[in-house]
Amino acid sequence: MDLTKIPERNEIPEEYTWDLRDIFPDDEAWTAEFQALSAKPAEIAAFAGTLGERPGRLLDWLKLSDEVGVRLEKLLGYASCKSDQDIADGVYQDMRSKAVACYVGIAGASAFATPELLAIPDETLDRFYAECPALETYRRSLTRIRRMRDHILSPAEEKLLAGMGEMAEAPDAIASALRNADLRFEDAIDSEGKSHPLSAGTFGPLMESEDRTLRKSAFDNCYARYSEFKNTVAATLDAQFKKLRFFADARRYPSTLAAALDGTEVPESVYLNLIDTVHQNLDAMYRYVALRKKLLGVDELHMYDVYTPVVKDAAVKISYEEAKATVLDALSVLGEDYIELLKTGFSSRWIDVYENRGKRSGAYSSGSARPHPYVLLNQKDTLDSMFTIAHEMGHALHSWYSCQHQPVNTSDYVIFVAEVASTCNEILLMRWLLNRTTDVKERAYLINHFLDQFKGTIYRQTMFAEFELEMGRMAEAGEALTADALCEKYLALNKLYFGPDMVSDEAIALEWARIPHFFYNYYVYQYATGFSAAVALAERILTLGEPAVADYKRFLSGGCSADPISLLKIAGVDMGTPEPVNAALRLFGELVDELASLNLS
């Protein structure tokens, strides 16, 4: 593929696009399913007021809920993937809106269920389990619901909140449309005067360029454009946090953070301890920044110097085919069954590989494994792209294992553990590469890449988490999230996390405007905790071998069959303590010292 230009969708060879026919054979089949699901609210409503009558009735409801949930997942998954191929395509944007509306309608019709499940007396539910053993499949799910007793409202109030679901998506949808469809950037200009297309998808690779003139041009042009729309994006974030505050208040939570974490059974202390632990390890980050400045040989280190490799002439072009082969070799330690699944995903078009005009930026795994996972990439034939393949396929196979080994109601793992499997793959890939090179420059290049993972995943995502916490607190205090207020807070955090040897360019104060994760409801901290857990798990797998792999696969197969802290303990790591984060950052410091000791002259 020629990656020097951004092609139209129809110019991408079919083998590099995902095959969505595994979900629905065509749009007409999707439409038929949409119509069938749109009739489900009437069937659902017939269960209202009956869930506590007898165990068979409760079981029928839970089975119907499973069935409808799986079908909705496919309906929304197909429409979302289609719309992400080209966000400017109104047909698939409309299909996605219809799928969301269908989901909201069914959620509204189902709103009676949670209050009714809470109203069943404990002794009655115990009798139901005894009389109907099939209900045991749902014990974990029912227990999770009933532990939320203090935050569930009356049936009428629950229906009202459910009906607001479509409206609640508006802040993210508006910001996404602006970022991905409407914003156009001036080309970046390199040191020879050559133009380079600048987009959400090309910004990252341009920041990795060895040409400092090109990096600065891309940086300046990107944030100059965001500056023109900063008030619009700030308004969408203000609306997002007003929404979170409303739902937290409605459900009687003391804060938006408490509301977000309670749903995944993660103590608030984990979030707050992460920030505190990273603050205690900022000295290692400052050493890294000082070393980067020295190795780049610059008088001032700017924010557009953060991503370029510090080792010259070591970067190599890695084609998609080469990257897949390397990933398969590196992950072979996880066993034949894991590798065969990877091969199936690569050969059966689970993956949408290359950027095209209008395609959603970044990368993701669909999170669903029915019929199988789907992965979106924007492949650039770089080392980073190879790690992205390993990362997203880690997500995909986590979903696959959970769906294969868990019933529907406990197959969807919570977001706290969502980044563990993906990042464990990255760590294993990095360890594999480091163990196979003796060349000083190549080793330094790989260590720098590893350090950039630490920097980007633990330090950077914790900085994002702290910024998100600040936004939540502002909203809870009744303060408006204005562009000026957000820029001031973001710039202060950037200076704190990067330290005295980094010039925190004024434009970086606008970085919040291009980060989609701030609409994900306290999601980003889990990148940092997940990376820390993944470091521990990868080291355990490489040290202990098969016993650790077996423990790890029990974790992958666990879905949400236990709370996330307990699931990770099964795999061999305790995220209820600061130790995994401290250990990961100790390794970061050791790698900084090793890179500093290498003779790169």
Spot the catalytic one: 33, 158, 166, 392.
392
Q: Which residues of the chain have pLDDT under 50?
A: none
Burial of 278 (0-12, 13-18, 19+ CB in 10 A): buried
Contact assessment for residue 385 and residue 323, using Cβ atoms and an 8 Å cutoff = yes
Measured distance CA(87)–CA(357) in Å, rounded: 9
Bridge partners, residue 301, by sequence: 502
The pTM assigned to this predicted structure is 0.81
- Alpha-carbon Rg for the chain, nearest whole angstrom, is 24
- Residues ≥6 apart with Cβ < 8 Å to 575: 270, 529, 532, 533, 564, 565, 568
Contact assessment for residue 135 and residue 128, using Cβ atoms and an 8 Å cutoff = yes
Place of tokens 């799928």: 99
Contact assessment for residue 550 and residue 299, using Cβ atoms and an 8 Å cutoff = no
pLDDT tens string 334-351: 999 999 999 999 999 999
Q: Which residues of 19-47 are buried (b: 16+ CB within 10 A; e: fewer)?
A: ebebbbeeeeebeebbeebeebbeebeeb
* H or E element, residue 267: none
Return the SS3 of 301.
strand
What type of residue sits at position 251?
R
What does each C-alpha distance from 268 to 259, 261, 407, 576 come to in angstroms?
10, 7, 29, 11
pLDDT at 464: 98
CA neighbor of 306 nearest in space, from 208, 203, 418, 201: 208
Beta 364-365 vs 375-376: how paired, if at all? antiparallel
Task: Give the chain's end-to-end CA distance (angstroms, integer).
Answer: 35
pLDDT at 419: 87
Q: To the nearest 10°, report the CA torsion of 568, 570, 574, 576.
A: 70
Beta 502-503 vs 188-189: how paired, if at all? unpaired
Q: Show the 3-state SS of 502-561.
A: EECCHHHHHHHHHCHHHHCCCCCHHHHHHHHHHHHHHHHHHHHCHHHHHHHHHHHCCCCC
**What is the side-by-side order of every strand in the sheet holding 375-376?**
351-352, 375-376, 364-365
Which one-letter DSSP state was computed for residue 459? I
- The reply to whether 392 belongs to the active site is yes
Contact assessment for residue 5 and residue 197, using Cβ atoms and an 8 Å cutoff = yes
- Residues ≥6 apart with Cβ < 8 Å to 265: 144, 414, 563, 564, 565
CA angle, residues 341, 347, 352, in degrees to nearest 5: 100
E-only strand ranges, 46-198: 188-189, 195-196
Contact assessment for residue 199 and residue 222, using Cβ atoms and an 8 Å cutoff = no
Which one-letter DSSP state was computed for residue 380? -
- Residues ≥6 apart with Cβ < 8 Å to 128: 54, 55, 58, 120, 135
CA neighbor of 222 nearest in space, from 254, 184, 256: 184
What type of residue sits at position 550?
A
pLDDT at 201: 83
Measured distance CA(358)–CA(237) in Å, rounded: 23
pLDDT at 312: 75
pLDDT at 421: 95
How many residues make up the chain in this entry?
A: 601
Measured distance CA(595)–CA(209) in Å, rounded: 20
Q: Which long-range contacts (CB under 8 A, 24 or more apart) does 1-7 make?
A: 1/320, 1/354, 1/379, 3/354, 3/379, 3/380, 3/381, 5/197, 6/197, 6/199, 6/201, 6/202, 6/355, 6/356, 6/357, 7/354, 7/356, 7/357
What type of residue sits at position 540?
R
Q: Which two tokens stand for residue 592?
A: 């900084």
* Domains with residue ranges and CATH for the chain: 9-168 (1.20.140.70)
